[in-house]
Copies of this chain bind each other. A is one copy, B any other.
């Protein structure tokens, strides 16, 4: 059998979201079996969210095979219902299947531990790392893709970079309603045990269709698309932006920052030295360094640092491992001076504000029409009418119109939970009383 050929019998992976992941081709099986892909089992999909929703301990492994599975089903549906008849007719060319499937499977292979926090501290970018892992000859992923053709790894990477010429393929993997988002919403809803992310995948998969410039949706399925947009909005507001998870994300960030500082000050003994983190501290990262790090390594170093001689590091890892989140209140941009005052009060109560206060902004754009002046212009969602003409989604749906271009989320000030204690039992009764007098309805009051 050709290394890139069809398997004589399908193989399957049992999956709680899609029932089964169907693997039909040798190359997909081989990619799943690489160390680079298996590493994804040790990277949680939702980072600190599992501190709030204890079911959400799932890793990126399941998400990646899920995105692959949705893409595979899309290819099957397009082949049955919209097969191209002649080049340029805007219908689906099934020769694009392999590049689409590989890009879907590998789209997140560059994710590091606790991704967003980590990237921010160490100035890495998971999308660039994804492309790097795919195109670097040092990885097994690359070697397997090479078997298709020498140009194939770059083609797969270009889908992720959105420069691949076939826009249908690009939009399958990356657009405002793509296999990536559809899988993570359903998967995160399943594992958190919430229902906000549940939309009707099967119906969307029946109204999506290829056309000249990418993917569109039959107008008769408009409400299913609308429902997806609202579900996505809800997941952001209720799950991804949960204040408690963010309170632990801040603890994580402070921990990594403090560790970097202590490393620079040579304050780690050999036994506590986080050797897998050193390339990041040194800002000199090879592919193999990058691939060696995972969530487990961070947790293990944190565990070792419970005994570190630096009281701040010790205290931060205790907060993180034992789940003691910072508390928070919302505020608005006009209140920055009041914030300084609040920080001062935290300091007066005995906490170093550099480590025990922070601001976190979490905003999402639930939907955006195309705006060429935007930093990251989004392909709008187009609805196709029976006569073939298109209508942009927010023009037709009042719900989507209400969300269109509107950042949703909030801005929060974080501080130690001790600040909310009963002031009578505190050693700083006045400080606490003053601090609490600035809070009403969980918001900062001027």
Task: Tell me the A residues contacting B by CB distance below 8 Å.
Answer: 9-10, 12-17, 19-20, 33-35, 38-39, 41-42, 50-51, 53-55, 57-59, 61-62, 65, 80-81, 190-196, 198-200, 202, 206, 219, 223-224, 226-227, 230, 233-234, 237-238, 270-271, 273, 275-276, 292, 294-297, 299-301, 303-304, 306, 318, 321-323, 385-387, 389, 398-399, 401-403, 406, 408, 440-442
Contacts and interface: CB of A to CB of B under 8 A. Distances in A.
Contacts of A191: 16
A306 B276 CA distance: 12
A418 to B, nearest CB: 15
Contact of A54 (B13, B55, B224, B238): B13
Contacts of A294: 299, 303
Which 4 pairs of residues, A with B, have the shortest CB-CB distance?
A16-B193, A402-B402, A296-B296, A300-B300
Nearest to A55: B16
Contacts of A15: 54-55, 193
Contacts of A295: 296
A53 B14 contact: yes
A237 B225 CA distance: 13
Contact of A223 (B58, B196, B303, B441): B196
A55 B300 contact: no
Contacts of A206: 12, 20
Contacts of A237: 223
Contact of A323 (B38, B80, B195, B233): B38
A19 B295 CA distance: 28
A403 B198 CA distance: 21
B9 A81 contact: yes
A408 B198 CA distance: 23
A20 B202 contact: yes
Given A296-B295, A300-B300, A441-B387, A223 B238 contact: yes
A104 B102 CA distance: 38
B234 A223 contact: yes
Contacts of A9: 81
Nearest to A196: B227
Nearest to A272: B275
Contacts of A441: 219, 385-387, 389
7 contacts: A14-B193, A20-B202, A195-B199, A271-B273, A292-B306, A296-B303, A402-B402
B304 A194 contact: no
Which of A57, A198, A271, A301 is most buried by chain B, counting CB atoms within 10 A of its CB?
A57
Contacts of A406: 398
Given A54-B62, A322-B35, A386-B442, A292 B303 contact: yes
A57 B54 contact: no
Contacts of A57: 41, 57-59, 62
B38 A321 contact: yes
A233 B230 CA distance: 12
A259 B275 CA distance: 19
B223 A399 contact: no
Contacts of A199: 195
A429 to B, nearest CB: 20
A398 B271 CA distance: 54
A350 B40 CA distance: 32
Contacts of A440: 386-387
A149 B40 CA distance: 47
A9 B15 CA distance: 29
A230 B397 CA distance: 12
Given A65-B54, A292-B303, A399 B16 contact: no
A61 B55 CA distance: 9
A398 B322 CA distance: 37
A223 to B, nearest CB: 5
A233 B399 contact: yes
Contacts of A226: 234
Contact of A194 (B53, B200, B387): B200
A323 B196 CA distance: 34
A230 B399 contact: yes
A320 to B, nearest CB: 10
Contacts of A202: 19-20
